[in-house]
Each structure stands twice: as structure tokens, then as C-alpha cells.
Amino acid sequence: MYVHVPSAWLASFLYFSLAISCVFYLVWKHPLADLVSSSIAPIGALFSALTLVTGSLWGKPMWGTWWVWDARLTSMLVLFFFYLGYILLSNAFERKIDGSKTASVLAIVGLINLPIVKFSVDWWHTLHQPASIIKIGGPSIDDKMLLPLILMVIALSFFSLYMIILNVKTKLIQKKCEALLLKSNLEEISKTG
């Protein structure tokens, strides 16, 4: 629970952040938004995969099976596929800009899945337990369990933010190196030509 729930929340929040960043990229053509999007995607994919794995580990003793085509589980799997689709599309084209645009459109379309992930246990009768923390009337979980859960959410949030910033910084350094190499090659060509 202390890894599964924060991972699920972060997978959803990071996907929302990914889609917003993609909107910035498509509308304002800001290259930093594309870097942020491509830095968020692997971290979000990691958290959605972690959600699926920890859910399966919990599901086996509780439900007697590793997987059921439950609405919450299936919508989380679809979220994971949207993350993978974004990553694959952004790297599928020879020109980076073509991949970024196509992947950004996919990420925005994938926003439709977020309410399904959140409200699937309310809309359909599922094996997955209903919301017990963020719900009308307040949490129905004991404070002794709620506090460590909130601490894990905070810790994993800071971890994901750190990893995203590290990814963005690495990609900026890589772009700077590529620009310097291109400049060096152009100077070499102009000297010899």
C-alpha cells in the first residue's frame, strides 16, 4: 500500500503534467517543453509499471489471482501503454521534431484515460477497493496508516521531481555538446573549403 498507492497517484499526476507540457510544446513551440515532456515520460512509465506490479503482488493473496480485467487495473494498464506509446513515437522518426509532435498529440489524447483511472471504481462494480483517502467526507483510513502513506507520497514526489530535473539537465547538456560539435565541424569545413 505504501508503494502502490503513491505510485498510482504519481503515474496519473505525471501523465497530466506530460500532457500539459505537450500542449505548451504544440501551441507555443517551446523546445524546453519538449525536453520536459520527454523527461517526464520514462519516470511516469516507471511509476505506472510499479503500480501494476505492486497491485499484482497484492492481488494474488487477496483475490487469488495475479491479474483480473478489472476496470481500475485495465485503465492503469492503458495509462502505461500511453506512456510507452509516447516514448516510442517520440523516438520513431528520423527528424526529432516529427516524433515530438506526434507523441505530443498522443499524450493529449491520452488525457481521456485519467478520469477513467480515477473514477473507474465508482462507475463500475470492480474488485478493486473504492477510494479511501481522497473522497467526500474525508479519508476512511486510520491516521496511523495515513501518515506514513502521505510521507511516502511526499518522498516519491520529490524523487520523481529530482529525476525529471536530472533528465532535463542531462538533455540540455547533450544538446549543448551537439551544438558545439556542429559548430566545430562547420568551422573545420570553412577552413578547409
- First CA to last CA distance, the chain: 66
In a domain, 182, yes or no: yes
User: Apex CA 23: angle with CA 17 and CA 25, to 5°?
Assistant: 105
Ranked by mean pLDDT, the top range of 50-59, 61-70, 126-135 is 50-59
In a domain, 137, yes or no: no
Query: Could you read off the pLDDT of 98-116 as tens digits, one per residue?
Result: 999 999 999 999 999 999 9
In a domain, 95, yes or no: yes
In a domain, 132, yes or no: no
Q: How many domains does the chain have?
A: 1
The predicted structure's pLDDT at residue 63: 85
**What residues make up the domain containing 41?**
4-127+143-192
In a domain, 37, yes or no: yes
pTM of the model: 0.90
In a domain, 11, yes or no: yes
In a domain, 133, yes or no: no
In a domain, 138, yes or no: no
Can you read off the three cell numbers belonging to residue 104? 505530443
User: Apex CA 183: angle with CA 88 and CA 90, to 5°?
Assistant: 10
